Amino acid sequence: MMKKFYIALVGLLFVCIGAVGQTTFTYQGIKYGIDSKGDAYVADNPDVSGNITIPGTVHNGDKSYSVMEIGDGAFEWNQNLKSITIYGYVRKIGNNAFFQCKALTTVEMNDYMQEFGSRAFAYCSALTDIKLPGSINTIGDYAFSDCFSLESIKIPLYLNDIKEGTFDGCRSLKTVNTKEAAVLKSIGKYAFNGCSSLFDLTLPKTVISIGDQAFGNCSSLDHFDIPESVESIGQSAFLNCTALTSVVIPSKISVVDENTFSGCTSLTSATFPETMYAIGYNAFFGCSKLSSVDMPKSMDYLQPMAFMNCSSLSSVTIPSGIKEISNNAFRGCTSLTTVTLPESVTRIGQEAFSDCKLTAIEFPKSLTRIGSNAFSFCDWLETVTCTSYTPPVIESLNAFSNAAYDNATLIVPDEAYYDYMQSYGWDMFENTKSAAIEDVFAETTTVADIFNLQGIIIKRNASKEDLHSLPAGIYIVNGKKVVVK
């Protein structure tokens, strides 16, 4: 009797376990599961095909369930799904739900949807039409990345941020409608990277941050207004936006970060706020149509390669707070003929002005060091003027080109003439003269009396040519000491 009881108990236990363990069921050809709250979700469906519909309510036997979610990976890698219509109260599309559904062309959904998971529609390369309801407040990382056929998108009313890589690689995306995006605050890194057809996008005034490479390689974006509300712009934010013609940096931006506008080959103007203090590494590298730069007085740092290969840049005035012209800062600026250096500059870095068309350069008294190749290939130099009584250190003989050493005139203070003539690098200049000779004849008259150091007159009504013809020595002209070599 006891044995039969145990057998019956074990049988009942198996029945119960079977009932509890039944986590999925099929309704109208779609597999569903039941979550911990007793609601249904769309489960793994790798083999369904054609056009499908997700109803608001599904049935399993005599029980009914509300469908609240498209589960993680529900249709992942499905190559036969063409369209999906979502009814009822579904609030979430999970991570990778439609990942690599390469035949999927259209998605329609209810007005209760709130969340898309990471890579929810990534690599849906045939997807052309998806309307995002205003109820959505979260779209996960790379949710629509590499949707090659998607041409337009409307940003939902309650979306707070466009996360990392959301539309990365959507190369057919042309327009992004943000007119109803009332609370959008941030554009994540790589958010629109590689959207090479994008030309119409206006950010709302609620946006405060633009992430790294957010608009990188958007090669059709010819006009873009950065809202005044923006407080930070990430590295490479507009990298290789080759159609962008102008940019105005908002007043809350203090640093143009590295590579921010690198490769923007159509950029002709950049306007900086007076609050900005630094331009980063490679920030405007290769902006070949940028013809002028008006850096704010607040600037303290100019990083390496900041304006390298800006081949249309013709003149530059360095702000008074800059202490160092960094390595390669203006290298390859082949139209640059004029540079004004402030008294704050103490060092000119390696290749800082290499391959520029400078015809004249005047070094401030503050300059103490010139890096190797700083002015290499600057073969058009006619005058090099030094105002410091202590010759700046030249790190290597190739600081200037051979053409400059042979043809340019080095002008130095008269008291420091012999110091320059005996200093490494400066002694390479074939033509050197004292600045005082020019100064004393820069008056309204072209003649002057010449005295020796004892006050004895050497020549009355002498010209500059008369002064040059005198024996080497120190003379007094117009009350100034003049060195003649």
- Residue 438, helix vs strand vs coil: helix
For the ranges 1-10, 253-262, 330-339, 341-350, which has the lowest average pLDDT?
1-10
CB 318 within 8 A of CB 298: no
Is the pLDDT at 326 greater than 60? The verdict is yes
Residue 235 CB neighbours (<10 A): 19
Say if residue 17's pLDDT is above 50: no
d(CA 136, CA 143): 13
Q: Is the pLDDT of residue 2 over 60?
A: no
Helix (H, G, I), strand (E, B) or coil at 180: coil
Least confident of 4-8, 193-197, 315-319, 440-444: 4-8
To the nearest whole number, what is the mean pLDDT of the chain? 91
pLDDT tens per residue across span 453-462? 778 888 888 8
The per-residue pLDDT for range 101-122, each reduced to its tens digit, is 999 999 999 999 999 999 999 9
* Of residues 15 and 95, more confidently modeled: 95
Q: Tell me which of 125 and 478 has the higher pLDDT.
A: 125
Question: What is the C-alpha R_g of the chain?
Answer: 36
Rounded Cα distance between 42 and 74, Å, is 6
Which pLDDT score is estimated for 316?
92
Q: How far apart are CA 197 and CA 170, in angstroms?
A: 8
* pLDDT at residue 203 tops 90: yes
Query: Which pLDDT score, from 0 to 100, does residue 470 have?
Result: 84
**228-242, 246-260, 418-432 — which is least confidently predicted?**
418-432
The 3-state DSSP class for residue 466 equals: helix
Residues in the chain: 485
**Is 8 a residue whose pLDDT tops 80?**
no
Question: Quick one: average pLDDT of 292-297?
Answer: 91
Q: What is the mean pLDDT of residues 48-65?
A: 96
According to DSSP, residue 83 is labeled E
Cα 178 to Cα 181, 184, 285: the distances in Å are: 5, 9, 31
**Res 23: pLDDT:** 79
DSSP type of residue 214: T
pLDDT digits (tens, 9 = 90+) for 216-249: 999 999 999 999 999 999 999 999 999 999 999 9
pLDDT level of residue 15 (50, 70, 90 thresholds): very low
Of 65, 61, 59, 69, the residue nearest 38 (C-alpha)? 65
* Span between the terminal Cα atoms of the chain, in Å: 130
CB 188 within 8 A of CB 209: no
- Report which residue type is found at 322: I
Query: How large is the average pLDDT for residues 73-99?
Result: 97
User: How many Å apart are CA 19 and CA 13, to the nearest integer?
Assistant: 10
Q: How, if at all, do strands 57-60 and 63-70 pair?
A: antiparallel
Helix H or strand E encompassing 23: none
| Tens-place pLDDT, residues 347-373 | 999 999 999 999 999 999 999 999 999
The answer on pLDDT for 29 being more than 60 is: yes
Q: What is the Cα–Cα distance from 147 to 123, expressed in whole angstroms?
A: 5
Residue 1 pLDDT exceeds 80: no
pLDDT of residue 35: 94
SS3 15: helix
| Residue entry with tokens 């949707």 | 147
Whole-angstrom CA distances from 432 to 106, 348, 407, 474 are: 76, 21, 10, 16
pLDDT (tens digit per residue) in 163-193: 999 999 999 999 999 999 999 999 999 999 9
Give the 3-state DSSP-derived string for 267-314, with helices as H, strands as E and coil as C: CCEEECCCCCCEECCCCCCCCCCCCEECCCCCCCEECCCCCCCCCCCC
Q: Minimal CA–CA distance to 91: which of 115, 57, 75, 118?
A: 115
Q: Is the pLDDT of residue 208 over 70?
A: yes
pLDDT for position 123: 98
Q: Are 467 and 437 in contact (CB under 8 A)?
A: yes
Q: Which residues 6+ apart lie within 8 Å of 127 measured at CB?
A: 104, 105, 106, 107, 121, 144, 147, 149, 150
